[in-house]
């Protein structure tokens, strides 16, 4: 069988011969410091080779293989003194993932340092290590949240501080509350809101006038036109979201437009 590896020769992420990543945390005095980690140093924490159902399902592929380390083994290397309860995942392509430490432990998440795909699949440009993986047998909800790739920096943060600018934006409407949760779990990583999140996609609250019926319809149509199963760049977000949840997201964006 033939394999295509994600580390192509012209890979921009390579620095000299080694691929490096940044880990940012605060020292005992509360000062933020960044450490450079190489792929080899990460793999030194105990590398395994695995296949992965959750990833293959989301990509509509099979038999992908990965070199991984246990994320929890990496976490143990850091002493957190300032209430940090999450890791922000800053990516090379303006994607910004975030995972709570609780989820990393609960689902025993892995970090892939190498990705090997079967040749029949073409690799989207964003699919590079580090990549978050849910090991087989663990069953978190099926969400974009657990699909972060292309990670260049891991940064320890506090969830309530990170989400603070959007915390109260859903108001008291239960529909909008449901919408904000769906948005946080599936969209915010690429479509930032109030300065929170990634900027791989456009800012949706600014691109559409959610108070107008026409724009709300257009939003739904545009979503389906882009984020479907056959999206060329493998950005099938539709699979993570029901029509009902998508409507709750619109309810939420209407509340934001009114405020």
* CA 142, chain centre distance (Å): 13
Nearer to ligand HEC by Cβ, of 125 and 160: the residue is 125
Q: Is 195 left (phi over 0), alpha (psi -120 to 50) or beta?
A: left
Rule CB under 6 A: choose which of 84, 103, 144, 178 binds ligand HEC: 144
Q: Give dist(CA 176, CA 174) in Å, integer.
A: 5
DSSP alpha helices (H): ranges in 17-100?
A: 39-43, 53-59, 71-75
145 binds ligand HEC (CB under 6 A): no
Q: Does 222 bind ligand HEC (CB under 6 A)?
A: yes
Residues 179-218 close enough to bind ligand HEC by CB under 6 A: 186-187, 189-191, 200-202, 204, 207
Q: Return the number of the residue (83 or 209) whose C-beta is nearest ligand HEC.
A: 209
Stretch that binds ligand HEC, among 49-57, 115-123, 156-164, 220-228 (CB under 6 A): 220-228
Q: What's the DSSP call for residue 254?
A: H
**Binding of residue 237 to ligand HEC (CB under 6 A):** yes
**What token pair was written down for 26?**
């605060």
Count of residues that interact with ligand HEC, criterion CB under 6 A = 21
For 69, which DSSP code?
Answer: E
Is 20 exposed, middle or buried, given 0-12, 13-18 or 19+ CB atoms closer than 10 A?
middle
Nearer to ligand HEC, 157 or 237 (CB): 237
Which is closer to ligand HEC, CB of 28 or CB of 243?
243
* Rounded-to-integer distance, Cα 105 and Cα 70, Å: 10
**Smaller CB distance to ligand HEC: residue 42 or 197?**
197
Min dist. Cβ of residue 88 to ligand HEC (A): 16
Do the bridges between strand 65-70 and strand 48-51 make them parallel or antiparallel, or are there none, so unpaired?
antiparallel
What residues make contact with ligand HEC under the rule CB under 6 A? 95, 144, 186-187, 189-191, 200-202, 204, 207, 219, 222-223, 226-227, 235, 237, 241, 249
């Amino acid at each position: 069988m033939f394999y295509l590896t994600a580390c192509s020769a012209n890979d921009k992420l390579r620095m000299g011969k080694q691929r490096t990543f940044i880990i940012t945390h605060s020292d005992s005095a509360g000062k933020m410091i960044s450490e450079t980690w190489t792929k080899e140093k990460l793999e030194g924490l105990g590398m395994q080779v695995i296949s992965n159902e959750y990833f293959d399902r989301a990509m509509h592929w099979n038999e992908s293989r990965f070199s991984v380390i246990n994320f929890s083994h990496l976490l143990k290397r850091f002493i957190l003194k300032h209430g940090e309860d999450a890791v922000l995942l800053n990516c090379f392509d303006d994607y910004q993932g975030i995972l709570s430490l609780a989820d990393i432990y609960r689902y025993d998440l892995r970090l892939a340092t190498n990705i090997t795909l079967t040749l029949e699949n073409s690799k989207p440009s964003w699919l590079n290590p580090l990549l978050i993986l849910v090991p087989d047998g663990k069953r978190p909800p099926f969400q974009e949240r657990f699909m972060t790739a292309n990670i260049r920096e891991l940064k320890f943060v506090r969830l309530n501080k990170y989400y603070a600018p959007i915390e109260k934006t859903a108001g008291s409407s239960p529909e909008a509350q449901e919408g904000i949760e769906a948005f946080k779990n599936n969209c915010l990583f690429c479509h930032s809101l109030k300065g929170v999140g990634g900027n791989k996609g456009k800012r949706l609250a600014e691109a559409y006038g959610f108070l107008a019926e026409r724009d709300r319809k257009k939003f739904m149509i545009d979503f389906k036109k882009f984020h479907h199963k056959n999206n060329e760049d493998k950005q099938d977000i539709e699979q993570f979201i029901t029509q009902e949840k998508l409507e709750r997201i619109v309810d939420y964006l209407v509340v934001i437009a009114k405020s």
